[in-house]
Amino acid sequence: MCVCFFLQLAQAGARCDYALYLGASSENYNTITDLAPAAAGLKMYLNETYTTLRLNNLSVWSKHFDLWPKKYPLCVHAESQTTAAVLLLATLHSRPIHICHVARKEEIQIIRAAKEKVIY
Note the pTM of the prediction, 2 decimals. 0.82
Q: How confident is the model at residue 120 (pLDDT cuts 50, 70, 90)?
A: low
The per-residue pLDDT of the chain, averaged, comes to: 87
| CB-CB neighbours of 2 under 10 Å | 9
Residue burial 89-98, b: 16+ Cβ < 10 Å; e: rest? bbeebebebe
The DSSP symbol for 21 reads P
* Secondary structure E strands in the chain: 22-23, 42-45, 74-77, 98-100
What is the arithmetic mean of pLDDT over 49-67?
91
pLDDT at residue 115, rounded to an integer = 87
Sequence ranges of the domains in the chain: 20-117
- pLDDT one-digit tens code per residue, 76-99: 999 989 999 999 999 999 999 999
| CB-CB neighbours of 37 under 10 Å | 10
